[in-house]
């Protein structure tokens, strides 16, 4: 067996070893050196790890078991110090290893702007897990501020991740617009707006002069004199191929290690793949060509013919909610024409660049569904003169009427690229499916399609659907959590069908693999049980998130906020006096008027909660449930009481609705509003349920959102009387309570079951009556003031320490 030594456990060498072991597991005895103290993981997915959407464990591509199974000697956490090509020996920090064949996969080093202060503590690059962990650590400091230098792909992913972790983030970009290598200024403008909407500050044409601080970074100084306070500075300005070791070993090196199309360096027994490679004047940073190289090198090492070729690559940004796509060349130039589509209110922009009847570039923002189709046209150099008129509308509009998305997928040619990261075309996926791969996981295992950044998973499923026809069942949604393989929908269905009425019954009967769940499934199961069996099941405070257990919202310093209900946003001088007295008596640091038309008292320690609630109760105020997945507020305008435009008693209606719905638990929080006329002063059209009063009655809208997503309500029904409003609103609430997945707001639930289905269900008067009746049963149990209950002595004790040993005399 020949000895193969690989320097660097990255995505390219990982893929190389996979191909090698797959083709001939007995060909080589492999040793892998890696400077990082771990094996290969999916570096593309560091951004979701940074933002907290994924854990490190989820992005590991080759675990210890894999290396063991393939008999790889792992020298992780060990740097290679020298290579002696005459003796064919690699020298690591802990000793020598001889080789027959040697592979460089040394990757690249982040480029650090050599400004004064770049070596201060708190200045990090964004390249590997250690960097990511340091950024997560910095983000943990309350009120921490980050400056990200570099507004390219990596910098923006870093910025978005840090922002999601709660940091104040500013992005500095040297050029005039973000991602200037992938986007034109118009698309970049939309991107910048989206980022700013998330609270990320963007400064373009910003040149860093120096980083200041005493040991640790304190602020960043720009050339124009601006000073930005910072606890963390992330350098994401680019990468440099890591070729020092190769140069010292006497290999030919240009900007990176020079290789031929077989990935061979100037030494016939030494090869290189990945970001450390220069081939025909090209350097490589995206994963797709790296994987191509890995495939070629595997063949070369097994003495098979293959040659690497540079191909077009497309780009996507992995920032949840920012949809952008760019491919090809979109610079303006002689003989080039643009086709542009803009829909500013939807934030959609598409630009196609055409030269000599061929598509040469495409930039899309906001709606990137057709990206792969355009990318195919660019790669193939298809003559587009025939379809030019409707080209920008995508494949669905070619050749007649609009088609459904499946038809568009069916129309793609076999060589249309589906997975850009892994270079998998439609034909390869169809082949795998016809060969028996009938699940997404199976297709992924066989073709690698959707295995890296994952954005093409939906497309792969559509191809499977087209190929398998009726045999294809869309894969089940994600399990609730690692405690079970069942989805939320399964659990809800089984709780009803098998009449499971306790949490232990759910864990046992449905085969939970943990003794009593976890923080993810426990609150969900607790909700499903109390929603389905209000009379049989008792709410379990130990399965509640802290806010719902303590009936107050925990704040970042461990104190709580207290918010009494103000029915329909109406209050009285007596109530206000009671609130003011309580704020004085308990030294409440912050009194805030909220967007839900009530008053929040922030900064109350847990021990004082029962006492302050008792005082507020005495003035007739009850819990506002501002902490629950339940009814929050009903916002109103003054309606016919005062307003000269009011058409109905919107205030009265809001108060009645709130008195009817308060106390109910729901899958997620529910907010209502009632506006007295279409001028909509109560902002009813972005609420979960919003009512607009008109002369002839009431328009009930549902499924609005004004949080992470912004979405107007859609009309549910128009009714004439207040009684009908109550009947419909309660029926809608109960339908949502009985069917939605825990933590889905109504708009998310509606997107799954469709508004049409809800309308159809509620159109039946008998169904509405039954839903109203079930809601009333639930309210008979759950409509009570928890504050009142918890000021009682036996409950009040819960809010005090079990014991205070500091009061006893010290020894």
Partner 1 sequence: MNWIDIGALDDVPLRGARLVKTHAGCVAIFRTGEAEVYATSNTCLHRGGPLSEGIVHDRKVTCPLHNYVYSLETGEVVGPDAGRIATYPIRVEDGRLLLDGDAVGKRSAA
The two beta strands, 95-98 and 89-92, are antiparallel
Note whether 726 binds partner 1 by CB under 8 A: no
Note whether 718 binds partner 1 by CB under 8 A: no
**Dist. CA 8–CA 766, nearest whole Å:** 68
Q: Which stretch binds partner 1 (CB under 8 A): 50-58, 100-108, 231-239, 366-374?
A: 50-58
Q: What is the DSSP string of 104-168?
A: E---EEEPPP--TTTTSBTEEESSSHHHHHHHHHHHTSTT-EEEEE--SHHHHHHHHHHHHTT-E
Q: Which stretch binds partner 1 (CB under 8 A): 172-180, 386-394, 542-550, 711-719?
A: 542-550
CB-CB contact of 40 with 72 (8 Å)? no
Taking CB under 8 A as the criterion, the residue among 543, 628, 685, 778 binding partner 1 is 543
Closest CA to 312 of 239, 368, 369, 380: 380
Closest CA to 651 of 688, 624, 684, 627: 684
Closest approach, Cβ 483 to partner 1, in A, equals: 9
Note whether 794 binds partner 1 by CB under 8 A: no
Taking CB under 8 A as the criterion, the residue among 163, 426, 522, 739 binding partner 1 is 522
Closest approach, Cβ 809 to partner 1, in A, equals: 11
Closest approach, Cβ 786 to partner 1, in A, equals: 16
Closest approach, Cβ 340 to partner 1, in A, equals: 44
Helix or strand holding residue 656 (H, E): helix 650-661
> Whose structure tokens read 């103290």?
37
Note whether 793 binds partner 1 by CB under 8 A: no
**Whose Cβ is closer to partner 1: residue 331's or residue 809's?**
809
Helix or strand holding residue 66 (H, E): helix 64-69
**DSSP-derived 3-state class of residue 364:** strand
The two beta strands, 232-235 and 553-554, are unpaired
Residues 97-156 that bind partner 1 (CB under 8 A): 140, 142
Question: Given phi > 0 = left and psi -120 to 50 = alpha, else beta, which region is 752?
Answer: alpha
Contact track, partner 1, 330-359, x by CB under 8 A: ------------------------------
CB-CB contact of 323 with 458 (8 Å)? no
DSSP 8-class letter at 741 = P
**Whose Cβ is closer to partner 1: residue 708's or residue 802's?**
802
Contact track, partner 1, 52-91, x by CB under 8 A: ---xxx----------------------------------
**Dist. CA 209–CA 274, nearest whole Å:** 33
Note whether 51 binds partner 1 by CB under 8 A: no
Closest approach, Cβ 805 to partner 1, in A, equals: 4
Q: How many residues sit in the footprint of partner 1 (CB under 8 A)?
A: 35
Q: Which stretch binds partner 1 (CB under 8 A): 266-274, 311-319, 327-335, 796-804?
A: 796-804
**Whose Cβ is closer to partner 1: residue 48's or residue 420's?**
48
First to last CA, the chain: 71
Taking CB under 8 A as the criterion, the residue among 188, 326, 550, 628 binding partner 1 is 550
Note whether 584 binds partner 1 by CB under 8 A: no
Taking CB under 8 A as the criterion, the residue among 404, 695, 708, 806 binding partner 1 is 806
Closest approach, Cβ 232 to partner 1, in A, equals: 15
**Dist. CA 688–CA 701, nearest whole Å:** 8
Closest CA to 692 of 637, 755, 746, 633: 637
Closest approach, Cβ 236 to partner 1, in A, equals: 22
**Whose Cβ is closer to partner 1: residue 188's or residue 543's?**
543
> Could you tell me the CA-to-CA distances from 293 to 26, 39, 267, 722 in Å, in that order?
22, 20, 18, 69
Which residue ranges make up the site for partner 1 (CB under 8 A)?
49, 55-57, 140, 142, 514-519, 522-523, 541-546, 549-550, 554, 556, 558, 797-798, 801-806, 810-811
């Amino acid at each position: 067996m020949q000895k193969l030594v690989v320097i660097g456990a990255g995505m390219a060498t990982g893929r190389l070893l996979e191909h090698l072991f797959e083709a001939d597991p007995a060909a080589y005895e492999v040793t892998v050196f890696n400077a990082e103290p771990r094996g290969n993981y999916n570096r593309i997915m560091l951004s979701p790890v940074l933002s907290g959407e994924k854990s490190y464990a989820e992005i590991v591509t080759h675990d210890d078991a894999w290396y063991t199974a393939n008999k790889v000697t792992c020298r992780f956490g060990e740097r290679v110090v020298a290579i002696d090509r005459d003796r064919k020996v690699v020298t690591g920090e802990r000793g020598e290893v001889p080789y027959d064949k040697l592979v460089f996969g040394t990757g690249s080093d982040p480029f650090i702007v050599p400004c004064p202060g770049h070596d201060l503590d708190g200045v990090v690059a964004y390249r590997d897990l250690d960097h990511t962990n340091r950024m997560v650590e910095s983000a943990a400091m309350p009120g921490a501020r980050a400056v990200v230098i570099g507004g390219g792909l990596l910098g923006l992913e870093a910025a978005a991740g840090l922002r999601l972790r709660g940091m104040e983030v500013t992005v500095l970009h040297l050029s005039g617009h973000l991602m200037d290598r992938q986007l034109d200024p118009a698309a970049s403008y939309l991107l910048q707006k989206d980022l700013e909407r998330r609270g990320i500050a963007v400064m373009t044409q910003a040149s860093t002069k120096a980083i200041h601080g005493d040991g640790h970074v304190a602020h960043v100084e720009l050339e124009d004199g601006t000073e930005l306070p910072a606890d963390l500075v992330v350098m994401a300005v680019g990468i440099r191929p890591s070729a020092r070791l190769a140069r010292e070993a006497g290999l030919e090196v240009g900007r990176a290690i020079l290789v031929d199309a077989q990935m061979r360096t100037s030494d016939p027994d030494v090869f290189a793949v990945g970001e450390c490679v220069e081939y025909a004047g090209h350097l490589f940073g995206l994963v797709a060509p790296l994987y191509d190289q890995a495939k070629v090198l595997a063949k070369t090492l097994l003495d098979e013919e293959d040659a690497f070729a540079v191909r077009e690559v497309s780009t996507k940004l992995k920032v949840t909610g920012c949809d952008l796509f760019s491919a090809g060349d979109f610079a303006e130039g002689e003989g080039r024409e643009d086709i542009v589509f803009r829909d500013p209110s939807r934030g959609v922009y598409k630009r196609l660049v055409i030269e000599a009847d061929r598509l040469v570039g495409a930039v899309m923002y906001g709606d990137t569904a057709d990206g792969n189709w355009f990318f195919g046209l660019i790669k193939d150099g298809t003559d587009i003169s025939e379809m030019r008129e409707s080209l920008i509308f995508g494949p669905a509009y070619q050749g007649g009427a609009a088609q459904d998305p499946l038809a568009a997928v069916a129309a793609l040619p076999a060589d249309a690229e589906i997975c850009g990261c892994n270079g998998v075309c439609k034909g390869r996926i169809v082949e795998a499916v016809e060969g028996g791969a009938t699940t997404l996981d199976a297709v992924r295992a066989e073709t690698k399609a959707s295995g890296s950044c994952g954005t093409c998973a939906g497309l792969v499923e559509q191809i499977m659907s087209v190929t398998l026809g009726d045999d294809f069942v869309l894969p089940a949604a994600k399990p609730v959590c690692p405690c079970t393989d069942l989805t939320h929908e399964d659990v809800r269905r089984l709780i009803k069908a098998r009449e499971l009425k306790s949490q232990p019954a759910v864990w046992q009967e449905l085969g939970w693999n943990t003794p009593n769940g976890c923080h993810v499934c426990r609150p969900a199961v607790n909700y499903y049980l109390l929603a389905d069996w209000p009379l049989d099941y008792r709410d379990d405070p130990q399965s509640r998130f802290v806010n719902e257990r303590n009936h107050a919202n925990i704040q970042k310093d461990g104190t709580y906020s207290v918010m009494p209900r103000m029915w329909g946003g109406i209050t009285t001088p007596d109530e206000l006096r009671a609130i003011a007295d309580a704020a004085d008596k308990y030294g409440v640091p912050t009194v805030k008027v909220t967007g839900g038309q009530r008053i929040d008292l922030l900064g109350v320690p847990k021990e004082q909660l029962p006492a302050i609630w008792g005082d507020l109760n005495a003035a007739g105020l009850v819990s506002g449930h501002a902490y629950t997945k339940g009814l929050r507020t009903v916002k109103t305008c003054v309606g016919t009481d005062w307003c000269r435009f009011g058409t109905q008693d919107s205030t009265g209606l809001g108060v009645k609705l709130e008195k009817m719905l308060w106390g109910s638990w729901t899958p997620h929080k529910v907010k209502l509003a009632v506006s007295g006329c279409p001028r909509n002063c109560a902002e009813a059209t972005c609420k979960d349920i919003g009512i607009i009063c008109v002369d002839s009655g009431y328009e009930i809208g549902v499924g609005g959102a004004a949080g992470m997503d912004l979405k107007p309500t859609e009309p549910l029904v128009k009714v004439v009387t207040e009684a009908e409003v109550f009947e419909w609103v309660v029926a809608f609430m109960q339908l949502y309570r009985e069917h939605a997945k825990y933590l889905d707001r109504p708009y998310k639930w509606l997107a799954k079951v469709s508004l049409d289905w809800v309308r159809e269900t509620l159109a039946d008067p008998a169904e509405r009556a039954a839903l109203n009746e079930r809601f009333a049963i639930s309210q008979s149990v759950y409509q009570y003031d928890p504050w009142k209950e918890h000021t009682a002595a036996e409950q009040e004790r819960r809010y005090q320490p079990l014991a205070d040993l500091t009061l006893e005399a010290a020894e």
